[in-house]
Structure 1
Amino acid sequence: MISVTVYLHRHSAHRSVELHPVLKHFFRFWLWMTTGMNTKEWTAIHRKHHATCETAEDPHSPQVMGLSNILWRGAEAYRAASKNEAIMQRYGAGTPDDWLERHVYTPHGVLGVALMMIIDVALFGAIGLTVWAVQMVWTPFFAAGVINGIGHFWGYRNFECADASRNISPWGIVIAGEELHNNHHTYPNSAKLSQKPWEFDIGWMYIRIFEMLGMAKARSKGPVVAQVPGKNTMDVDTAWAVLNDRFRVMAKYSRDVVSPLVEQELERAGNARRSVVRAAKRMLSRADELVDEAGQDKISEILDASPKLQTIYEFKQRLQGVWAKRSAGAEELLNELKAWCCDAEATGIQSLQSFVAEIRSYTMPQLARA
């Protein structure tokens, strides 16, 4: 799995980490022997997945194809997509195309896994066949089945990105850090998949070891918002900082604005309204793309039950609308953010006012260090 996550996923598909040529070729050779995987096919299919996530065009979405199909037959979904030449041509750019790839790794994938079987039997005797069988099943099941299946169906979400990705576990060990799938879909170009202090990404640990050996270099660990103590005025750098890390900003909005107000409303709610208000914490924080018609009806019921919850929901929608102004230029983005903050403060809602005060302290990280 280390070869899959470091080489295929973080290096080849997302270019979030650079690897030494020797290390790259070792990973290619090891994957050829242990899985028969083709770098171009895996990379292209994964890029296609990100580009069309949770749609009918997604090569392996459990939301579309069903969890059982992806969990138990995920490798088949990969094989089907690998035969689509249009996917290979559009999404497979920048993958190896040397003599070994053209004449050995791509046309003779079976030869690699057969060689692995011979090595296992030579090392372990008859039990080597069991070792080999586990090797052949492990990566396809966990990479193609568990991550692509359960990772889009069950678990917790740090960020409300526009797909159904979930973090299966906060400790990414068994599947080399790929358990932190919601983090990855939020920041796909980050070489580090852990985003919270209590999360652990063993794949990142290996990358750091390779960096210390001079064999790797992480290109990105995801956007980071810096805060300057005492800063209470907004400028262009504030606007860019908020935009660059908008998913974390929205997660903070859910935690620091929505959740406290829901708790307050629960204390005031009568028995008839409590079940409606209790659902607000989850429903009002969900990405719009993930809310179906029944969910919209539930949100309407929640908002009808509490004018304050309606206010913070409307401000959440407006804040997300600010992101759409980024193409118009920095000044317009800043003006929209200033207007949002001014109106938010005028609501008199304490948690919203505190959130605005925190927003004003944001800046780009390099400016904070200067």
Structure 2
Amino acid sequence: MIAILTFLCVHWFLSLFFHTFFLHRYASHQMYTTSKGWERFFYLCTWFFQGSSYLIPRAYGTMHRMHHEYSDTEHDPHSPHFFKDVWTMMVRTREIYNDFATRKIVVDEKFTKDPLPEWDALDRFGDHNITRLVFALGYIGFYVAFAPHWAYFLLLPIHFLIGPVQGAVVNWCGHKYGYSNFDNGDKSKNTSPWGILLMGELFQNNHHKFKDSPNFAKKWYEFDPSFAVMKMMHAVGIIKLKPVPVRAH
């Protein structure tokens, strides 16, 4: 049991960290700069820890910029206020993401004028069905080896779809439940204390007010653990953070 729960927690939080740190705060918003070598390392970690549900940074960044441009309107790719349930939202979001990933549609220049990280070779490999299947079989094999009861196998879908599951939780809860510090003209919320457990991602109201700020926490009682890690990386020279807007009191 300990092995399974440890594996679940490690997979969840490492996948989530690189989701928010690399896909969200770097690819989408360029909240920090880094060397090409470190960018490739973070890119590789994002692929490895997302595994079977790997999201291409270029496609994710494009879609997320679209989300901010059209937040909680009918053009928002994943506003919960235009879908009957979270599953329908996930399916529609995946369709839009696939269009960006395959370059099926021409993207408005305003969503790509700021550079997006690209590593075509890794994206082709990571996005391949065989690669995804190998990861899925690895997760199953770990459970076969360590699960003390068949019921633990019900956790496997979380591993298979960990990236989309995390995104769905953030986008559904972060635009429906919680409190607002700011009037952003949308329905974004801060869902606390889950904002902490989701590595800062559920401080959506704060983030939509200061979309380029690397610190999603804005009140004294809020804490963004991902930003704390980023400050340490900044201190040792791995990344260079952009200036943080003045905190709200």
TM-score (norm 2): 0.76
Paired residues of 2:136 and 2:160 also in contact (CA < 8 A): no
2:166 paired with 1:142: yes
Greater RCO, 1 or 2 (C-alpha within 8 Å, sep 6+): 2
Q: Determine which of 77, 82, 92 is the counterpart of 1:64.
A: 82
Deviation at 1:31, TM superposition (A): 2.9
Q: Deviations over 1:287-335 (max 9, x none)?
A: xxxxxxxxxxxxxxxxxxxxxxxxxxxxxxxxxxxxxxxxxxxxxxxxx
Structure 2 matches for 1:75-154, cutoff 5 A? 75-82=90-97, 83=99, 85-87=105-107, 90-93=110-113, 94-97=115-118, 101-106=119-124, 108-109=126-127, 110-117=129-136, 119-120=138-139, 126-127=145-146, 130=153, 133-143=157-167, 145-154=168-177
Deviation at 1:39, TM superposition (A): 0.7
Q: CA deviation at 1:175?
A: 1.5
How many Å apart are 1:118 and its aligned residue?
Answer: 5.1
Could you tell me which residue of structure 2 aligns to residue 46 of structure 1? 64
The alpha carbon displacement at 1:9 in A equals 0.7
1:20 to partner: Cα distance: 3.9
* Cα pair 1:11 1:19 within 8 Å, conserved: no
What letter is aligned with 2:107? I
Give CA-to-partner distance per residue, 1:13-63, whole Å, 9 cap, x none: 111122343442233223323222111110000000111112211111122
Sequence identity of aligned pairs in percent? 24
- Report which of the two has the higher share of helix: 1
**Unaligned stretches of 5+ in structure 1?**
225-247, 253-370
Over residues 246-274 of structure 1, what are the superposed CA-to-partner deviations in whole Å (9 max), with x where a residue is unaligned? xx5xxx8xxxxxxxxxxxxxxxxxxxxxx
Residues 182-238 of structure 1 show CA distances to partners (whole Å, capped at 9, x for unaligned) of 0000100100000011111111111112123321121032245xxxxxxxxxxxxxx
Number of aligned positions between the proteins: 219
Larger radius of gyration: 1
Aligned partners of 1:92 and 1:119: how far apart in 2?
A: 35
CA distance 1:41–1:29, change in 2 (3 Å): same
Q: Conserved in 1, the CA contact under 8 Å of 2:22 and 2:46?
A: no
Name the residue aligned to 1:36.
54
- Against the structure 1 CA distance between its residues 133 and 21, is the aligned structure 2 distance closer, same or farther, given a 3 Å change threshold? farther
Contact 1:190–1:221 under 8 Å retained in 2:
yes
Aligned to 1:187: 210
CA RMSD of aligned residues (A): 2.7
Contact 2:158-2:165 at 8 Å conserved across structures: no
